[in-house]
Amino acid sequence: MGGNDKIELKAFSRTPGKGPARQLRMKGFIPAIVYGPKTEPVSFYIEQRDAVKYSSQKYENTIFSLSSDEKGLNGMQALKKTMDVHPVSRKPLHLEYYALDMTASVTVNVELNFVGKSQGEKDGGVFNAVRREIEIECLPTAIPEKFDVDISELNNGDALHVSDLKLGDVKIVTAPELTIATVSEVKEEVVDAEAAEAASQAALADPKAEEGEKKE
């Protein structure tokens, strides 16, 4: 989902602190905080099922519209920034959201979706995706879900760089010289049969080798 998709998220106000947060988790809720350039940090909590449901990468750039009885939270537009999870159970422990100014640009990471099959692969080479995301700057309402990157013209030995991307009017933040993908030839290890046979015969003719065998 991209920034043009909005999801209503039920938010409940809470008292900050480790003790209250622990109690919330025991009751099936996940503590969270929202902050932004024009918003003082506000603590709240959401239902655990919502935290799990929207934890996947496809919701990374989705705009959440907070719905709450708390006046300061209700109607706030926010992006999910981070989610702490339990190291063993992988259950959500805490969430951070970024309160958006819908008229100001934000910096986000967007997925690179490689399309097609490179000419190098058709010739027996191997395609390697070095970077699967790119950082851009745009308005919240213009965040794309992904960027399709055509790799069909890449030959063996070719490399695709950030500077090669054609993304229209989007401002790219990622350094232009960084490599996105490569196509390389598969180098087969060629064994010289005659050299291998000669080495084998030399080993058998080595007196030290024979002595070592007798000692064993």
Residues of the chain with CATH 2.40.240.10: 6-99
Q: What is the pLDDT of residues 14-69, one digit of tens each?
A: 877 677 788 898 899 999 999 998 888 999 999 999 999 999 888 989 999 999 98
- Please, what's the b/e burial string for 157-190 (b: 16 or more CB within 10 A of its CB; e: otherwise)? ebebebeebeeeebebebeeeeebbbbeeeeeee
Report yes or no on whether pTM surpasses 0.75.
no
Q: How many Å separate Cα 66 from the centre of its chain? A: 25
Q: Which two tokens stand for residue 14?
A: 């809470």
Q: What is the pLDDT of residues 104-158, one digit of tens each?
A: 999 999 999 999 999 999 999 999 999 999 999 999 999 998 999 999 999 999 9
- Fold that domain 106-184 belongs to in CATH: RNA Polymerase Alpha Subunit; Chain A, domain 2 (2.170.120)
Residues of the chain with CATH 2.170.120.20: 106-184
Class of domain 6-99: mainly beta
Stretch (H or E) spanning 119: helix 119-122
